[in-house]
Amino acid sequence: MPHIFMGYGPWIVSTAVADVMRQFDMGQGGFYPVRVLKKDRRTPFNGEWFCLNFGNVKKAYLGGGRDPTPHITKGFMRHAMPSTHLIQDNMLMVNADALVGPDIWVDPQIYDTFFVSDRLAQGLKGAGLARAFGFKKCKII
């Protein structure tokens, strides 16, 4: 099993990921134990798993990527994250508000996406867990 995956809506993380993330500023975010079952819907996967509640919102996303798709226009433009294999470092832009506050957050301007601070990304990298996230650096404007 990967250390992070989307489980029919919420993001699910392994104990190893939760243990690293707890060392950083999670703000209003947290972890809730969840059972992860095999295809038969009865047999649990080994280990502990957690639903990751981001709990933090920052409006810092400025756009970028490979022509993000507008979704809703009501006071602001909401974007879909382009496929992660199309995104390269520094293609997405955020303002300096991204540098303040909790180390993990969502932005209402782009859906199915979450952001982490460089500090948290480096912590996960140091623990050998960052690869599963597919992190990309954002350009700070």
Nearest to 99 by CA among 135, 58, 65, 128: 58
Contacts of residue 96, Cβ cutoff 8 Å, sequence gap at least 6 = 60, 140, 141
**109-136 pLDDT, tens digit each:** 887 789 999 999 999 999 999 999 989 9
**What is the model's pLDDT at position 85?**
62
Name residue, tokens 């999670």: 26
Q: Identify any residues that bridge with 13 across adjacent strands, giving them in sequence order.
A: 4, 50
Q: Is 126 helix (H, G, I), strand (E, B) or coil?
A: helix
Which pLDDT belongs to residue 8? Answer: 82
**Listed ranges 47-51, 58-62, 132-136; the one with the highest mean pLDDT:** 47-51
Give the C-alpha separation, 93 to 79, whole Å.
13
Nearest to 33 by CA among 14, 50, 9, 8: 50
